[in-house]
A and B are shown apart, each in its own frame.
Chain A
């Protein structure tokens, strides 16, 4: 059986989890895992857990240890009184709790904290992207009469991958023709050697629901996998239009390495 979590260790666990949440939400690290909008909730949850942990550390750790010799039976904080201990094994399946020992499952809360501090998992990259289909859902503007608004001026025009995909696949006026555009993303190797995609992952809530936006890049050597680049170039009409799973392409005139952006997802 797994040992129950003592009160003073519970306090350490709470402080660890609260601290981990604060650590990732007060820096930009949380953006690797969840959306921007969750930040206030993460800070609040981290602060609450940290506060509860600190209060517990004082009340259950320090104060009770000091009181213990005098009040061994009435509260039996650190060790549990004999009768409670004896009663516990009768309680089935890992759910015995007396008031001094916490749930055994709580040990598992170490895992996300350890994963965060020891591995510091990076944002999803080419490994996930190469396993994910391109999804270019038909936007509302494609079906109504007004159609798409004109593209803003700019040479090259900075665009998100989402914009580029939608305009190239669904905008029947082909506004990308003869326009220089600039896209930012990471490098995913293509299925055949030498081909590559400029890629962004998209998350709606957390990294568990991510999917990829990919655009084939022609006319430039593939940079290192997972490195971040801006690609300047022109739309290469390859017949990939009017379909949910289209894979548009771009002829690159310039590829520039950039540092990983603050927000890795689009």
Chain B
């Protein structure tokens, strides 16, 4: 297999290549990859590696900065960049928390712990895992790597998925934020809790009944090197999971920022009067806006003219299905999984919102 540098992300490889000076390191290059390099004698001549290209591309960009800023100075581009950076910056700490927990689960918690804690029968394990979602104080970016870590430790996928869906929606921080955003409607908090947990458990059961193991692509993690120790494994798992999920988070943030800046709000407002379409419209808005679950209650409260059920749908769908999450899930579990799971969750979440909204609101 040949690996071509030209197609990688840093935008100015050609310029970098022309100017590549021999670095001071006498060590052999790591750039050109392939069987050729195997067993190469250390005295072989130096060739610039990926690291050198990468650093040079960065330096090149640094010098091109005034030129780039000139080109990107329009308000629309700046607004887009602000929203993109904001979504990334807001999500990164939670992603770090999620990958820390996930790496800790993989490196330090023996699989037997989970088989002891969770009921043997899947139909019982699903609600237990769903309710356990209440203890992870984060937003949706943290829950994806944790669910993946749980699966790697032998937790049944159905239970891990119930946890994945419920934890960003029903944890105390999110419920408190909901109570603050709807000061005169405490029933909104209850409705959110019931609808979100219901959706998570139902999706878990659906997966247990209809899901196929081959739909989930198990991520190949850096495997154990005997003797390198638990901490080394922890660091490698952390590094790998963070970089991997982080890349997909960026895809999600790019999509969300683009939709955020381009989707005109009056299109959504136009349907606020119709009770059925309003719910669908806000559910759709939740998917494209990709607002963090800790903030979506405030956004929902600021959507004037929509029925409480439509606002509930916004808050139930948002933490479970949005463009950022779909990107994260495709990265972690594979594209086929994300397509099936997200569309099913979207439908179930809307049905749950209608039901709970009709009952409680």
A and B, one complex?
Answer: yes
| Interface residues, chain A, with chain B CB atoms under 8 Å away | 1-6, 8-10, 12-14, 16-17, 21, 24, 30, 32-34, 38, 41-42, 44-45, 48-49, 52, 55-56, 59, 61, 65-66, 68-69, 72-73, 75-76, 78-82, 85-86, 88-89, 91-93, 95-97, 99, 102-112, 114-119, 121-128, 131-133, 135, 137, 140, 143, 204-209, 211, 244-245
| Bound complex: CA A80 to CA B291 (Å) | 40
What are the interface flags for B201-240 relative to A under an 8 Å C-beta threshold, 1 for contact and 0 otherwise? 0000000000000000101111101000000100110111
Do B184 and A143 touch (CB < 8 A)? Answer: yes
| Bound complex: CA A49 to CA B95 (Å) | 11
Do B1 and A116 touch (CB < 8 A)? Answer: no
Contacts of B304 in A (CB 8 A): 133, 135, 137, 244-245
Minimum Cβ distance to chain B for residue A10 (Å): 6
Interface membership of B284, Cβ < 8 A: no
Contacts of B222 in A (CB 8 A): 97, 99
| Interface residues, chain B, with chain A CB atoms under 8 Å away | 1, 3-5, 7-10, 25, 27-30, 33-35, 37-42, 49-51, 54-55, 58, 61-62, 65, 68-69, 72, 75-76, 78-79, 81-90, 92-94, 96-97, 100, 181, 183-184, 217, 219-223, 225, 232, 235-236, 238-240, 242-244, 246-248, 250-251, 253-254, 256-257, 260, 265, 289-292, 294-296, 298-299, 301-302, 304-305, 331, 334-335
Minimum Cβ distance to chain A for residue B259 (Å): 10
* 19 A–B pairs (Cβ distance < 8 Å), ordered by A: A6-B51, A8-B49, A14-B242, A76-B38, A78-B49, A89-B1, A95-B334, A99-B222, A99-B225, A103-B331, A108-B248, A108-B250, A124-B79, A137-B304, A204-B299, A205-B291, A205-B292, A208-B87, A209-B296
Do A209 and B54 touch (CB < 8 A)? Answer: no
Given A121-B81, A208-B86; A140-B183 close (CB under 8 Å): yes
Given A95-B219, A99-B223, A99-B236; A105-B251 close (CB under 8 Å): yes
Do B83 and A207 touch (CB < 8 A)? Answer: yes
| Bound complex: CA A76 to CA B30 (Å) | 11
Contacts of B242 in A (CB 8 A): 14, 49, 52
Contacts of A32 in B (CB 8 A): 82, 86
Given A3-B50, A52-B238, A93-B334; A33-B86 close (CB under 8 Å): yes
Least CB separation from A116: chain B residue: B85
Least CB separation from B331: chain A residue: A105
Do A112 and B84 touch (CB < 8 A)? Answer: yes
Least CB separation from A127: chain B residue: B75
Do B220 and A102 touch (CB < 8 A)? Answer: no
Minimum Cβ distance to chain B for residue A231 (Å): 23
| Bound complex: CA A91 to CA B352 (Å) | 38
Of A16, A45, A105, A131, which one neighbours B96 at CB under 8 angstroms? A45
Contacts of B94 in A (CB 8 A): 41
Contacts of A103 in B (CB 8 A): 240, 243-244, 247, 331
Given A65-B27, A103-B247, A135-B304; A3-B7 close (CB under 8 Å): yes
A-B contacts besides A69-B28, A69-B41, A97-B219, 16 pairs, CB < 8 Å: A3-B5, A38-B93, A72-B40, A85-B1, A92-B217, A110-B10, A111-B254, A121-B84, A124-B79, A127-B79, A135-B304, A205-B292, A205-B298, A208-B87, A208-B256, A208-B291
| Bound complex: CA A226 to CA B35 (Å) | 58
Do B86 and A3 touch (CB < 8 A)? Answer: no
Do A12 and B76 touch (CB < 8 A)? Answer: no
Contacts of B335 in A (CB 8 A): 93
| Bound complex: CA A93 to CA B335 (Å) | 9
Do A121 and B246 touch (CB < 8 A)? Answer: no
Best-surrounded residue of B40, B62, B85 (most CB of chain A within 10 A): B85
Given A41-B93, A44-B93, A72-B38; A33-B82 close (CB under 8 Å): yes
Minimum Cβ distance to chain A for residue B302 (Å): 5
Do B42 and A112 touch (CB < 8 A)? Answer: no
Do A121 and B85 touch (CB < 8 A)? Answer: yes
Do A97 and B220 touch (CB < 8 A)? Answer: yes
Do A107 and B9 touch (CB < 8 A)? Answer: yes
Do B260 and A208 touch (CB < 8 A)? Answer: yes
Best-surrounded residue of B1, B55, B93, B305 (most CB of chain A within 10 A): B93
